[in-house]
């Protein structure tokens, strides 16, 4: 079951990431605080700028990437609807009719990337907000196949997958915010904060150009608090 999309996180306490004191083998007393990694299932609530600053910064590496390494559009709950169909059903402005094998007819959708409305499901792509190739570059190359499948079909966070026009999705391809921004300028703040939320949820890194581009976008945005549940 796909959870409903929220426009923004509710106000919450802006707690810093917890720390612990860890003794070293060479000293009988603590050598100082060391950061504690968040675990799967933990909730992280931070201003978007702080969440961005908390992400690991490292160069990207696409060595070995193949889209087939991310099994996607599965039917996780075995209700006859694939991940693609689940997103279309959840994000429909006007609900489509659902036929055998989850065939969808009618309905209406809105593509926020390019501020465009659609009345045919086949005109839409389901975009991985942080593309599969980008996730590989940023840490998913070290994941298990099960983790990559979970990422590719993430219905538990409504920011991860989004129904958009095929044209905008294919224009974006596997680019990050350093080289691609949504044509609809009014959506760019949401796009940046959602990008940071997905990377935080999945413990993915950013590169320097990506970090700079996101910082530049956030500089023109209202202060926004993001809340995510860590997936890994």
pLDDT digits (tens, 9 = 90+) for 114-168: 999 999 999 999 999 999 999 999 999 999 999 999 999 999 999 999 999 999 9
pLDDT at 96: 97
Stated pTM of the model:
0.84
- Tokens 């940046």 locate to 192
Take residue 26 and report the two structure tokens written for it: 């060479």
Q: Evaluate if residue 70 carries a pLDDT over 60.
A: yes
Please provide residue 224's backbone torsions phi and psi, each rounded to the nearest 5 degrees. Answer: -125, 135
Q: Mean pLDDT for the chain? A: 88
pLDDT of residue 62: 96
How is residue 66 written in tokens? 């193949």
**Angle between the N-to-C axes of helices 208-218 and 188-201, in degrees from 0 to 180, rounded to the nearest 10:** 130
Domain boundaries, the chain: 19-229
- Identify the pLDDT of residue 105: 95
Give φ, ψ of 225 to 5 degrees: -95, 130
Across the range 101-110, mean pLDDT stands at 96
| The two three-digit tokens of residue 113, written as one number | 């990337």
């Amino acid at each position: 079951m796909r959870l409903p999309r929220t426009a923004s996180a509710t106000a919450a306490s802006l707690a810093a990431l917890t720390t612990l004191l860890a003794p070293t083998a060479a000293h009988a007393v603590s050598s100082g605080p060391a950061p504690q990694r968040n675990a799967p299932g933990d909730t992280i609530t931070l201003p978007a700028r702080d969440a961005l600053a908390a992400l690991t910064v490292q160069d990207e590496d696409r060595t070995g990437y193949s889209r087939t390494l991310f099994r996607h559009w599965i039917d996780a709950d075995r209700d006859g609807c694939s991940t693609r169909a689940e997103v279309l059903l959840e994000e429909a402005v006007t609900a489509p009719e659902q036929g055998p094998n989850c065939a969808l007819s009618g309905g209406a959708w809105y593509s926020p990337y390019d501020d465009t409305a659609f009345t045919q499901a086949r005109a839409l792509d389901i975009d991985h907000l942080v593309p599969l190739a980008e996730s590989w570059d940023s840490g998913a190359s070290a994941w298990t196949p099960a983790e990559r499948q979970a990422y590719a079909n993430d219905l538990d966070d409504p920011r991860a997958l989004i129904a958009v026009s095929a044209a905008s999705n294919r224009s974006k391809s596997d680019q990050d915010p350093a080289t691609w921004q949504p044509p609809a300028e009014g959506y760019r703040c949401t796009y940046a904060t959602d990008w940071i939320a997905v990377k935080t949820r999945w413990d993915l890194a950013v590169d320097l150009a990506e970090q700079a581009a996101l910082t530049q976008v956030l500089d023109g945005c209202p202060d926004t608090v993001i809340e995510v549940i860590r997936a890994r």
